[in-house]
DNA sequence: ATATTATGTTTAAAAAATAAACTCGTGAAA
DNA sequence: TTTCACGAGTTTATTTTTTAAACATAATAT
């Protein structure tokens, strides 16, 4: 898949404002609104692009961290991927080659909760079969504070978190040092 | 800033489809289209959210890498941030605390070019004052292949790249092992 | 008590999106 | 060469959406 100059202009504009009208996109490209419509529809239907809401981390005072993980083999890696597939705190999970074979970006509503997902049973690092891991709290997201936080996973209606680690028995949750999982009923935060 | 249940539904839907009409959002929330319109406008004007086009890495066969950097102090860090501010290959740069103080996500059109931004003078790692760095090619972006590649920076009209490192004298560029900088005229790739 | 502000609704007008039929150039097959 | 199908844009008429403005109403501040 390759984009020509017209697609490029369309995508650039849609990155700045994903709700730009077809009329405006037409003017930018020198096409009619119907011409540009077919381009945009193609891009969307072929899944070349997606137009999506990003959240401003600064506005919401969200905290990010990068987690580096080395597993003892591919089974552990797969287990981790499966387990955190629907975790609303996971922004990205990359599998990599090199010293670490998994790198994740995770989000929390406050520092205390970030600490929970650094150490507790609900943490990526808690999985059996992890040889080594490092945890880097993010101080600044430079250039642009907008991130694709998976809000639709924070539906607050489950009784067991997607990762299957119940918050209730956790001391941090009990003593109000962690807001719990945003996908469950007993969530206490504002994600 | 806090989102209530209505905002939450709006943002969730806009994450799935950023061009969802106000009518549809109204139905989802039980509001009129004008009611929901004010919510959406507030979210956008307060910069709580942004609606933006993301690119499908798989469709375009893009390659990602995570770069970990430890600098000798804050000056080097600031210099790096400044230098790569408008680099179209940078997806994210985080400043972190811990063993590494900078973590970046970079993108390339092919493996050869990825290698360039791992080692060449245009690489994040080439900056003076870097004590230590690691480079992790991403094998898989799990769950969702959509990423906010900064396409508007790939305008292909500069004569000197934003990072100020000219591609022309570079052997990799000369021997077609690197497509060069997407912000410049002599770019040979398809970003 | 009395403004004031934040939120939502209604209405009518303007703008945008859509479906369908049409045009034109290109490239493959007869 | 001719013909036909196809992709990419345009035009037009119609339907949907968006928008602005005036109006409600409840909560908050003075």
Instruction: List pLDDT tens digits, range B122-163.
Output: 999 999 999 999 999 999 999 999 999 999 999 999 999 999
Q: Does domain A5-45 have CATH number 1.10.10?
A: yes
The predicted pLDDT at position A1 comes to 78
Alpha helices in chain B (DSSP H): 5-16, 22-29, 33-45, 57-60, 74-83, 111-119, 171-174
What's the burial of A182, exposed, middle or buried (CB within 10 Å: 0-12/13-18/19+)? buried
A89-A95-A97 Cα angle (round to 5): 145
pLDDT above 90 (res A57): yes
pLDDT above 90 (res B169): yes
The predicted pLDDT at position B56 comes to 97
pLDDT above 90 (res B50): yes
pLDDT digit string, tens, across residues A67-123: 999 999 999 999 999 999 999 999 999 999 999 999 999 999 999 999 999 999 999
Q: Quick one: how far is CA B110 from the chain centroid?
A: 16
Task: Read off the pLDDT band of B190 (50, 70, 90).
Answer: confident
Query: Between A1, A46, A96, which is nearest B66 by CB?
Result: A96
How much of chain B exceeds pLDDT 90, in percent? 97
Task: Read off the pLDDT band of B47 (50, 70, 90).
Answer: very high
pLDDT above 90 (res A2): no
B148–A contact, CB cutoff 8 A: yes
The predicted pLDDT at position B191 comes to 83
Q: Which chain B residues contact residue A150 at CB under 8 A? A: 15
How much of chain A exceeds pLDDT 90, in percent? 97
We find that the CATH architecture of domain A56-150 is: 2-Layer Sandwich (3.30)
Query: Between A49, A56, A139, which is nearest B56 by CB?
Result: A49
Q: Are A173 and A167 in contact (CB under 8 A)?
A: yes
Mutate: best of B5, B41, B50, partner A, most A CBs <10 A:
B50
CA distance A94 to chain B (A): 5
How much of chain A exceeds pLDDT 70, in percent? 100
Q: How far is the CA of B56 from the C1' of D22 (A)?
A: 45
B2 or A47, which is more confident: A47
d(CA B18, CA A53): 6
Do B53 and A48 make contact, defined as CB atoms within 8 angstroms?
no
The neighbouring-strand residues paired with A151 are: none
The predicted pLDDT at position B158 comes to 96
Over residues A7-13, the mean pLDDT reads: 96
Residue ranges of E strands in B97-153: 102-108, 130-141, 146-147
Q: Are A162 and A187 in contact (CB under 8 A)?
A: no
Do A52 and B14 make contact, defined as CB atoms within 8 angstroms?
yes
Identify the three-state secondary structure at position B155. coil
d(CA B121, CA B123): 5
* 84-123 in chain B: CB under 8 A from chain A: 85, 90, 92-100, 103
pLDDT digit string, tens, across residues A90-103: 999 999 999 999 99
Domain boundaries, chain A: 5-45, 56-150
The predicted pLDDT at position B129 comes to 97
pLDDT digit string, tens, across residues B4-14: 999 999 999 99
Do A138 and B85 make contact, defined as CB atoms within 8 angstroms?
no
* 126-145 in chain B: CB under 8 A from chain A: 134-144
Q: Which nucleotides of D are covered by protein (CB under 7 A)?
A: 8-12, 16-21
B158–A contact, CB cutoff 8 A: no
pLDDT above 80 (res A147): yes
pLDDT digit string, tens, across residues B68-108: 999 999 999 999 999 999 999 999 999 999 999 999 999 99
Q: Are A128 and B98 in contact (CB under 8 A)?
A: no
The predicted pLDDT at position B163 comes to 97
User: What mean pLDDT, rounded, does chain A reach?
Assistant: 96
pLDDT above 80 (res B1): no
User: What mean pLDDT, rounded, does chain B reach?
Assistant: 96
């Amino acid at each position: 898949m390759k984009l020509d100059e017209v697609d490029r202009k369309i995508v650039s504009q849609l990155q700045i404002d994903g709700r730009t009208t077809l009329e405006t996109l037409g003017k930018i490209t020198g096409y009619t609104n119907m011409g540009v419509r077919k381009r945009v529809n193609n891009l969307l239907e072929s899944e070349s692009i997606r137009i999506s809401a990003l959240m401003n981390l600064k506005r919401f005072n969200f905290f990010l961290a990068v987690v580096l993980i080395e597993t003892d083999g591919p089974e552990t890696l797969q287990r981790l991927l499966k387990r955190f597939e629907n975790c609303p705190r996971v922004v990205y999970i990359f599998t990599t080659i090199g010293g670490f074979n998994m790198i994740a970006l995770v989000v929390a509503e406050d520092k205390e909760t970030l600490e929970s997902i650094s150490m507790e049973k609900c943490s990526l690092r808690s999985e059996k079969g992890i040889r080594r891991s490092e945890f880097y709290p993010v101080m600044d997201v430079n250039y642009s504070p907008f991130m694709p936080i998976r809000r639709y996973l924070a539906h607050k209606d489950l009784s067991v978190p997607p990762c299957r680690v119940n918050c209730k028995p956790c001391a941090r949750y009990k003593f109000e040092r962690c807001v719990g999982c945003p996908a469950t009923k007993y969530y206490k935060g504002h994600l």
